[in-house]
């Protein structure tokens, strides 16, 4: 919960569901450095909402044996809490926790919700984390692919982030015909990501602090770079943009290393003074998206990405900023086209970049915001989860 995703994609839903009368015990595994910095903040959020938080120690080092010990600890804590509180539902986020959730259903009759979050085992392959040429990783991959089918078939409800992912699951021959799946994308708190709440004076002041002029065209990127985001190709796009437009700047609102980003830019022949890399707290992100004339994210369109919903898409659209992205990732391209929220490219080359330069004046900010309200609203996301809970209780 001390990671940004925990704060944007877990706690807000639980808070909304507690307001509907549900009571939660939350088990999470926390990295030591972040836990020390953010424990009080997360605890206060949980206390205000009546969520009982049971944070556990997460260790990234130690390999497979350490992972197995942590899974056993999760199982032990979950079973202990069930003996005390007799849960009606176990709601499992991703595959590791689903191992425990399915066992609790089998052993105790607890209703089991599998909140898959993506094709986890395939993400490990596509991201180069597991190599199928390694016998150990191949064994682990095959184990989780077998478990994956069991999760879908034995859960009382499955949550998919995308329609694309849902359709893929339902096409598998081993999946039951009567499987229940609800699509709930990565939603955004529209009360926080609201351009009407940001004063133009603050925008002007922040631009001045960053060394941007009123004439500058700012292409923006928000979030981590990580395994999936195509930094080289985004730099190539910016280089084409710079050749077509005067006074261009590329602003990264990211916790990534500034040196790493600048090094890639220099390899592409992009001057350092055209770039700015800043790290901000989550509540400051809306202000910085407001500095963008357009936003960009390119994601590797691998098999596992059929089930991905980029959190940044809802945040960008909520601020009314047009974006350029690539096809083949979840429902991203279909949503952009449906709400006329930007441009979608199918190839990574100069011709494609040149023909998809964003001219903000050709996009309707209000329609982009309305698209976010329609598709990514946190309120709507909470309602969809509530529908799942009611169905499971019935």
- Read off the pLDDT of residues 204-263 as tens digits, 9 standing for 90 and up: 999 999 999 989 999 999 998 888 899 999 999 999 999 999 999 999 999 889 999 999
Specify the higher pLDDT residue, 32 or 60: 32
In angstroms, the CA 327 to CA 2 distance is 31
- pLDDT at res. 183: 97
Whether residue 394 has pLDDT greater than 80 = no
- Confidence label for 310 from pLDDT (cuts 50, 70 and 90): very high
- Confidence label for 34 from pLDDT (cuts 50, 70 and 90): confident
Provide the percentage of residues in the chain whose pLDDT is more than 70. 99
Give the largest Cα separation in the chain, rounded: 66
Average pLDDT, the chain: 95
- Confidence label for 7 from pLDDT (cuts 50, 70 and 90): confident
- Read off the pLDDT of residues 263-291 as tens digits, 9 standing for 90 and up: 999 999 999 999 999 999 888 999 999 99
Provide the percentage of residues in the chain whose pLDDT is more than 90. 90
- pLDDT at res. 33: 87
Whether residue 126 has pLDDT greater than 90 = yes
- pLDDT at res. 76: 96
- pLDDT at res. 65: 85
Q: Architecture of 195-375 per CATH?
A: 3-Layer(aba) Sandwich (3.40)
- pLDDT at res. 5: 84
Which H or E element spans position 58? strand 52-58
| Over residues 145-157, mean pLDDT | 97
Is the CB of residue 343 less than 8 Å from the CB of residue 356? yes
Domains 4-185+378-393 and 195-375 share a fold: yes
Backbone dihedral angles phi then psi of residue 326, each to the nearest 5 degrees: -105, 160
Tokens of 130: 């597991």
Domain ranges for the chain: 4-185+378-393, 195-375
Q: Is the pTM of this model over 0.75?
A: yes
Residue 112 forms beta bridges with which residues? Answer: 90
Neighbours of 191 (CB within 10 A): 10
| Over residues 53-60, mean pLDDT | 90
Q: What is the CATH number of domain 4-185+378-393?
A: 3.40.50.2000
| Over residues 130-138, mean pLDDT | 95
Tokens of 148: 């994956």
Find all residues with CB under 8 Å of 233, minimum gap 6, and list them: 298, 348
Least confident among 61-75, 95-109, 174-188: 61-75
């Amino acid at each position: 919960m001390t990671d940004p995703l925990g704060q944007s994609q877990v706690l807000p839903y639980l808070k909304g569901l507690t307001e509907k009368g549900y009571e939660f015990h939350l088990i999470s595994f926390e990295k030591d450095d972040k836990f020390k910095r953010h424990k009080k903040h997360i605890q206060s959020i949980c206390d205000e909402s009546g969520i009982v938080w049971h944070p556990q120690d997460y260790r990234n080092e130690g390999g497979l044996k350490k992972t197995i010990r942590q899974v056993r600890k999760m199982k032990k804590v979950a079973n202990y809490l069930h003996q005390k509180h007799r849960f009606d539902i176990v709601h499992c986020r991703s595959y590791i926790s689903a191992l425990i959730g399915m066992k609790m259903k089998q052993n105790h009759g607890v209703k089991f919700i599998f909140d898959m979050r993506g094709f986890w085992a395939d993400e490990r392959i596509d991201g180069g984390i597991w190599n199928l040429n390694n016998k150990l990783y191949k064994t682990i991959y095959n184990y989780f692919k077998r478990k994956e089918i069991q999760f879908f078939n034995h859960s009382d409800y499955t949550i998919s982030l995308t329609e694309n992912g849902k359709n893929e699951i339902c096409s598998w021959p081993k999946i039951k015909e009567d499987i229940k799946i609800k699509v709930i994308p990565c939603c955004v708190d529209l009360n926080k990501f609201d351009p009407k709440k940001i004063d133009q004076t603050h925008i002007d002041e922040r631009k001045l602090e960053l060394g941007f002029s009123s004439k500058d065209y700012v292409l923006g990127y928000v979030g981590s770079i990580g395994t999936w985001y195509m930094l080289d190709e985004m730099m190539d796009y910016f280089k084409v943009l710079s050749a077509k437009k005067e006074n261009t700047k590329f602003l990264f609102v990211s916790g990534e290393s500034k040196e790493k980003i600048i090094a890639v830019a220099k390899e592409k022949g992009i001057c350092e003074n055209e770039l700015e890399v800043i790290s901000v707290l989550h509540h400051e992100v809306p202000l910085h998206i407001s500095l963008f004339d357009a936003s960009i994210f390119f994601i590797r369109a691998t098999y596992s990405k059929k089930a991905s919903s980029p959190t940044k898409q809802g945040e960008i659209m909520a601020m009314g900023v047009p974006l350029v992205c690539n096809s083949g990732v979840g429902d991203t391209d279909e949503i952009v086209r449906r709400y006329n929220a930007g441009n979608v490219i199918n190839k990574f080359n100069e011709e494609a970049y040149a023909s998809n330069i964003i001219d903000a004046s050709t996009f309707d900010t209000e329609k982009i915001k309305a698209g976010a309200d329609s598709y990514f609203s946190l309120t709507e996301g909470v309602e969809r989860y509530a529908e799942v809970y009611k169905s499971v209780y019935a």
